[in-house]
Amino acid sequence: MAHEILSVKLYELDKKLGQVHSRIQMSESANHTQIRAEVEALKKECAESELTLRNKLKFSKAGMVAELAESYSEVEQIIHKVKEKIGTPAAGQWNEEFSAEEKILFAEYALDFAMQAANHALLISMEALDAQMTQQEKEEGVRS
């Protein structure tokens, strides 16, 4: 069962990463109006995804998920604070203190953090599979 659940989640992640890749490629040839429209669409998607995730975390039966939810909230707050500092182009409020290069660097590191989060998710998944297999081996040893 664990393999099936993780496979579905991996498929979802792969699909989302494909969308990220496609959107970055699309942005290379997009004009300013198209970029702003894409930003607005992504903001809506992010808000919807965040709400869905918060609801999943809120109603989870696993006690440790509350800690994960708290950490997720802290990270989200930090990201929002940084975004407030650099400003938002859609509102015409870029903070001139930060250059375009610094904003690109921020985006680059955000992608690095996403990769690190994916690596941690993989590690947790493999550890969960290991634990499940250990439990199955113990149960089979008791039956023998």
Give tens-digit pLDDT for 26-46: 888 999 899 989 888 988 998
Question: If pLDDT is split at 50, 70 and 90, which confidence band does 134 have?
Answer: very high
How confident is the prediction for the chain on average, in pLDDT? 82
pLDDT digits (tens, 9 = 90+) for 9-27: 888 888 988 888 898 898 8
Lowest mean pLDDT among 34-38, 61-65, 116-120: 61-65
Q: Residue 102 in contact with residue 109, Cβ under 8 Å? A: no
Residues 118/79/94/47 CA torsion (nearest 10 deg):
80
Question: What are the structural domain ranges in the chain?
Answer: 32-97
Q: Report d(CA 83, CA 77) in Å as an integer.
A: 10
* pLDDT score, position 31: 92
Q: Residue 106 in contact with residue 83, Cβ under 8 Å? A: no
Using N-to-C axis directions, what is the helix angle for 32-58 and 2-29, rounded to 10°?
160
DSSP string, the chain: -HHHHHHHHHHHHHHHHHHHHHHHHHHHH--HHHHHHHHHHHHHHHHHHHHHHHHHHHT-S-TTHHHHHHHHHHHHHHHHHHHHHH--TTTT---TTS-HHHHHHHHHHHHHHHHHHHHHHHHHHHHHHHHHHHHHHHHHHHH-
Q: Residue 102 in contact with residue 48, Cβ under 8 Å? A: no
Residue 116 clears pLDDT 80, i.e. is over it: yes
pLDDT digits (tens, 9 = 90+) for 79-105: 778 777 776 554 445 556 667 787 788
* pLDDT score, position 126: 86
